[in-house]
Amino acid sequence: MSPERRSRPAVLAVDGGNSKADALIVDRAGNALGLARTVAPFNVDRFDGSVDAFGEVIAAAAKRAGLDPAARPLARLGVFCLAGADTAQEERSLERALTRREWTATTTVHNDTMAVLRAGTDRGWGIGVVCGAGINCIGVGPNGRTVRFAALGELSGDFAAGGQWVGRAALGAAVRARDGRGPRTALERIVPAHFGMSNAEALARVMFRERISSDRLAELPPAVFGAAADGDEAARDILNQLADEVVAMATAAIARLRLADTDVDVVLGGGMFRNGDPVFLDRIRAGIETVARRATTVPLAVPPIVGAALLGLDGVGASSRAKAQVRETIGHQSFAGRRTGSGRTVVRIPASKEV
């Protein structure tokens, strides 16, 4: 093996979701060499060029690792866990597109739910639910059988499709409170105030005319959680609907894989599970336990990018110690850093062992 090949980092891991993308470069010992985040939509589509959007975050991680972003390949194995890679055919198509970019010598593609599942358990099977701006779920059985969902929002029967839906429901509840169709709620004040407007109906009209992007409704979940914690019934009802949708997805995957009698791990990843609301999480746990009494349901304690890196370390045959190293050094606080010149990529320069 050439010295250049020996010195090349082992894994380039990318986690691309509906609202951001993370890139992490690690060596075979599990040391984090470069970490970056770009805040922007990264739900890939069928067009080959959609993968070019990852160039900025990969370049930022490469620079942090002391690598020339223009060099090819940057790592031996690339693991891309992407929202929008919802079928095996889409994964293969994206894999071909990414291979042509030559960021890594070998490339594999998974849905972003796989990063959540791998980050949350070392067992190799279980249920992973992603709930950020959108919602999705994957189930993997002990025998390797996998079940998935279309995750196309209302088109595929998703009744409460993540944070974007929460924001839309909050605006609707605020408008209904104002015009008398619904109960009074703190959301009537909170929702328009978030956008600097006087009332919810005016906000709805401005969004209808696209003067304010309706995509910004995904900013509202923290306000909804806050109102629910203060006892607002309309806000709590919205969160109950979302919790029930999480339960519906997870228990459907459990049933399809015949895991109801097992001690299955259910891993919850995404911003909606990092809200600190015990009522929301308890409702999810209780709902899952009605189907799988021995299930363990936990919010993910590390960013999903850790799962993508672990999948890569699995692929290169790294040691268990190397995998533990990634878990120990990458946390949610790793992204509390500075922005690059574009104002979109966030890179934290480590002051200690944590990247």
pLDDT along the chain (355 residues), means of 10: 57 88 94 89 59 90 93 95 87 92 95 95 96 92 94 80 93 96 96 95 95 92 97 97 96 98 96 92 97 96 95 96 93 60 48 40
Q: How far apart are CA 93 and CA 310, in angstroms?
A: 23
Give the pLDDT score at 248.
96
The confidence score (pLDDT) of residue 30 equals 94
Dihedral over Cα of 153, 95, 100, 314: its sign: positive
Q: Which amino acid is at 289?
A: E
What is the number of other CB atoms lying within 10 angstroms of the CB of residue 181? 10
In a domain, 99, yes or no: yes
For 232, half-sphere exposure in the C-beta direction (CA atoms, 13 angstrom radius) is 24
The candidate with the shortest Cα–Cα distance to 177, out of 225, 241, 237, is 237
Neighbours of 281 (CB within 10 A): 18
258 conformational bin, left if phi > 0, alpha if psi -120 to 50, beta if neither:
left
pTM of the model: 0.87
Phi-psi region of 126 (alpha: psi -120 to 50; beta: other; left: phi over 0): left
Angle at the Cα of 34 from the Cα atoms of 28 and 40, rounded to 5 degrees? 125
CA distance to 21, 291, 309, per residue, from 56 (Å): 10, 43, 19
> Which of 208-245 are b and which e, b meaning 16 or more Cβ less than 10 Å from the residue's Cβ?
eeeebeeeebbebbebbbebbbeebebbbebbeebbeb
* Widest CA span in the chain: 73
37 within some domain = yes
- Evaluate whether residue 7 is within a structural domain: yes
Q: Is residue 267 part of a domain?
A: no
* Bridge partners (DSSP) listed for residue 21: 16, 38
User: How far, in Å, are 28, 142, 319 from residue 68 at the CA level?
Assistant: 19, 41, 27
Q: Please report the pLDDT score of residue 38 as a whole number.
A: 86
The terminus-to-terminus CA distance of the chain in angstroms comes to 30
> Looking at the 3D structure of the chain, how many domains does it have?
1
Q: Residue 199 falls within a domain, yes or no? A: no
| CATH number of the domain that residue 331 is part of | 3.30.420.40
- As a whole number of angstroms, the distance between CA 280 and CA 49 comes to 39
Q: Which two tokens stand for residue 347?
A: 């890179």
Q: How far is CA 221 from CA 122, 169, 171, 354, in A?
A: 31, 10, 11, 29
Is 147 inside a domain boundary? no
Residue with tokens 């597109």: 97
Write down the pLDDT at residue 317.
95
Cβ neighbours of residue 122 under 8 Å, at least 6 residues apart? 323
Cα(235)–Cα(186) distance, rounded to whole angstroms? 8
Residue 81, Cα to own-chain centre: how many angstroms?
Answer: 9
**322: containing domain:** 3-118+303-347
pLDDT at 48: 54
Can you name the residues that pair with 147 across neighbouring β-strands? Answer: 139
